[in-house]
Amino acid sequence: MRYQPLPATFYRQARANFMAQMQGNSLAVFNSNDVYPISADSTLPFAQHRDIFYLSGVDQEESILVLFPKAVEAKHREILFVRETNAHIAVWEGAKLTKDQATKLTGVETVYWLSDFERVFQELATQCDTFYFNTNEHYRQAVETQTREDRFIAQCKANYPAHKVAKSNPILQQLRAVKAAAEIDQIQTACDITEKGFRRLLHFVQPGVWEYEIEAELSHEFLRHRSKGFAYTPIIASGNNANVLHYTENNCQCKAGDLLLMDVAAEYGNYSSDLTRTIPVSGKFTARQKAVYEAVLRVKKEATKMLVPGTLWKEYHIEVGKIMTSELLSLGLLDQLDIDQQNPDMPAYKRYFMHGTSHHMGLDTHDYGLLHLPMQANMVFTVEPGIYIPEEGFGIRLEDDVVIQENGAPLNLMGNIPIEVDEIEALMNA
Ligand code: GLY
Ligand code: MN
Ligand code: MN
């Protein structure tokens, strides 16, 4: 792997935390992602499922982790199954993890070959009453494909119809939402790589460059710093493209006088970062662009102050909405009648700011975290207000990633990435 993995002690602790919440005489199973096909013999690059990664650090396809705290044999409390290298695999793909390497990486003492899974699992199944299955309950999930995990669950239910089932997801949602110090370091590294990419762009962007050329610059900078690349599909949106929230074509030429919205960030070691900056293609904001930019920045600063332990995500969004409403009034985008007549379920500000202000960030860009529970120290959130004005030909969003602290304001992991108007203009014209 090209990144520095977390120490095995982190994964041992994560598994202990998970097992401490398992009820009854139960075992839990976590599968790797499939290698997804394109067509013919083409595949997408492998991307590990973040749950087995969180609990083991194993970054290899066809791996299975079993956790069974009350196993009859102590060696079966934690088992990792990995694919055995044979001569063919060694020549064509390179060697897979040996058992020793797998133990060093993950801290799991008992490592079996995948070919032993059916036999071992059958033995374990006779010793337990309940299977914890790892279903996807993310609040934004909309998965239409059957994952390796789904296939396993279906097969397991067919083979063992008398077992009870329980859900791993709520446990993982709570554990993964609160980051360990080592994880925050990994996210900080991703943010620092993102910073290098953004600073490079400040010298590259000028009228006439194409959005995909900017994407290429970022890719170059991310990869040369041991990132696998973008943490999510990059949005590089000049002019009115910024008003298409999920614009990812990145195929237009940047024009003098336009703004350029870039929602672009690196991953590192399977941890995301999530950045948005909006800069003037010509190196200088117009008065109107600057006024809207400063409004977005003020909303971001005020919103950030509210990210403290105890804050409820829903109430936070209502408060941010009020601040945004007052900025939109000052900008002349809304008037008092709009406010007086607004539907409380669809407040007037949503015409110009239609997405959420914050989401959990971590192994997944839209990370785990149960939104009805109060915020806690060491949760990582984005802060990303925006104002989108198609009739004026631009949209502005600003986004940083912050860590909630026990006391006081959150720590901004992107605090070194230029954001003030003067700073951006000075760097673009240096
Ligand atoms: N880049 C995805 C998001 O900001 O939520
Ligand atoms: Mn983003
Ligand atoms: Mn985001």
CATH of 8-176, one of 3.40.350.10, 3.40.50.700, 3.30.70.660, 3.90.1300.10: 3.40.350.10
Is residue 274 lining ligand 1, measured as CB closer than 6 Å? Answer: yes
Q: How far is CA 199 from CA 33, 226, 290, 360, 416, in A?
A: 34, 17, 20, 25, 10
What is the phi/psi pair of residue 3, to 5°? -105, 165
Is residue 212 lining ligand 1, measured as CB closer than 6 Å? Answer: no
How many A from CA of 254 to the centre of ligand 1? 22
Ligand 1, atom 4, residue with closest C-alpha: 274
| Helices 8-20 and 99-106: angle between axes, nearest 10 degrees | 70
Is residue 384 lining ligand 1, measured as CB closer than 6 Å? Answer: yes
Spatial CA neighbour of 383 closest among 361, 352, 362: 361
**Most informative mutation of 139, 232, 246, 248 for ligand 1 (most atoms within 8 A of CB):** 232
Please determine, looking at this structure, whether the domain spanning 181-428 carries the CATH number 3.40.50.1110.
Answer: no
Ligand 1, atom 5, residue with closest C-alpha: 366
Catalytic residue at 41? Answer: yes
Residue type, 236: I
In ligand 1, the atom with minimum distance to the C-alpha of 397 is 4
Q: List for the chain the helix, strand, coil content (%; round to 5).
A: 40, 15, 45
Q: How many CA atoms lie within 13 A of 104 on its CB side?
A: 6
Is residue 263 lining ligand 1, measured as CB closer than 6 Å? Answer: yes
Q: What is the pLDDT along the chain (430 residues), one digit of tens a residue?
A: 899 999 999 999 999 999 999 999 999 999 999 999 999 999 999 999 999 999 999 999 999 999 999 999 999 999 999 999 988 988 888 889 999 999 999 999 999 999 999 999 999 999 999 999 999 999 999 998 999 999 999 999 999 999 999 999 999 999 999 999 999 999 999 999 999 999 999 999 999 999 999 999 999 999 999 999 999 999 999 999 999 999 999 999 999 999 999 999 999 999 999 999 999 999 999 999 999 999 999 999 999 999 999 999 999 999 999 999 999 999 999 999 999 999 989 999 999 999 999 999 999 999 999 999 999 999 999 999 999 999 999 999 999 999 999 999 999 999 999 999 999 999 999 9
Catalytic residue at 364? Answer: no
Outline which parts of the chain fall under CATH 3.90.230.10. Answer: 181-428
Catalytic residue at 338? Answer: no
Outline which parts of the chain fall under CATH 3.40.350.10. Answer: 8-176
All residues at 6 or more sequence positions from 78 whose CB lies less than 8 Å from its CB, including other chains: 15, 65, 66, 67, 68, 108, 109, 110
